[in-house]
Amino acid sequence: MSVTFEVQGRCAILTINRPEARNAVNAAVAAGIEAAIDRIEADDELWVGILTGTPPAFCAGADLKEVQGGTAGGLFTERGGFGGFAARQRTKPFIAAVDGPALAGGTELVLAADLVVATGRSTFGLPEVKRSLVAGAGGLFRLPRKIPENVAMECVLTGDPIPAARAAHFGLVNELVEDDGAVAAALALAERIIANGPLAVRESRRAVLASTHLDDDEAFALSRQAMGTVAGSADLREGVAAFIEKRPPQWTGR
What are the residue numbers of the active site? Answer: 108, 128
H or E segment at 50?
Answer: strand 48-53
Helices (H) and strands (E) in the chain, counts: 10, 11
Q: How far apart are CA 13 and CA 136, in angstroms?
A: 26
Query: For residue 246, what are the CA distances in angstroms to 8, 20, 84, 144, 242?
Result: 41, 17, 28, 31, 6
Which of 130, 92, 120, 233 lies closest to 182 in space, CA to CA?
120
Query: For residue 10, what are the CA distances in angstroms to 142, 181, 221, 243?
Result: 28, 20, 35, 41
Amino acid at 203: E
Mapped onto helix, strand or coil, the DSSP state of residue 203 is helix
